[in-house]
Amino acid sequence: MKRRFTTESGFVYEYEWHLPSCPLQKIRPLNVDLLPDDTIQDNVIQDIDAALDAATRAKQTLVDRIGALPDNPRIQRLTDKCFVIMSSDLDDNWTPNYHDFRLQYRLLQALVMKTSFEKLKSTLEGVVATGTLPVTTLQYDRGFKFHPDVIANLKAMIT
């Protein structure tokens, strides 16, 4: 593994590190070479760009997978925003948003895109644990209660 660093006087060193076979053995630098300062900056920026691209692709893959989750089998969709459901399937919640899985998946997709990559796992685990969006997230000031089937689909996807 190669490492580079710049001294206070502006010299740039490249080290080749050998991982110790024994935990008490120290890592020692080998092959010290003088490098131009621009090489290190370009490599670091390229590494940062590559990491950001990978994180963005991972978030987009997660958004795509959430969008591909199944719709509510108890409804008959007439259009994208209109559906029919039998009153016996309404249970204790009669709001249309509660039974519209596509709307709930869009809310989850927006949550994924809004959340920083570092907090994404804990945020999704919190949604699965509570069954609601975090308070004051997106357009719902008092939170949003997800249908248990949506939570089950999300839980199966992220575990």
Residue 145: inside a domain, yes or no? yes
Per-residue confidence (pLDDT) for residue 126, from 0 to 100: 92
Residue 127: inside a domain, yes or no? yes
Cβ-in-10-Å burial (0-12, 13-18, 19+) of 104 comes to: buried
pTM for the structure as a whole = 0.69
| 20 compared with 140, residue with greater pLDDT | 140
79-131, pLDDT tens digit by residue? 988 999 999 998 888 889 899 999 999 999 999 999 988 899 999 999 999 99
Side by side, which strands form the sheet with 30-34?
A: 2-6, 12-16, 30-34
Q: Which domain holds residue 104?
A: 58-158
**Which segment, 3-12, 14-23, 68-77, is predicted with the most confidence on average?**
68-77
Give the count of domains, the chain: 2
Residue 51: inside a domain, yes or no? no
40-79, pLDDT tens digit by residue? 556 778 888 888 888 889 999 999 999 999 999 999 999 9
Residues 76 and 9 in one domain: no
Residues 63 and 6 in one domain: no
Per-residue confidence (pLDDT) for residue 24, from 0 to 100: 40
Q: Give DSSP secondary structure letters for the chain.
A: -EEEEE-TTS-EEEEE----SSTTSPP--EEEEE--HHHHHHHHHHHHHHHHHHHHHHHHHHHHHHHTSPPPTTEEESSSS-EEE-GGG-TT---HHHH-HHHHHHHHHHHHHHS-GGGHHHHHHHHHHHSBPPTTBTTBTT--BPPHHHHHHHHHHH-
Q: Rounded CA gap, 77 and 80, in Å?
A: 7
Confidence of residue 11 (pLDDT cuts 50, 70, 90): low
3: which strand partners?
Answer: 15
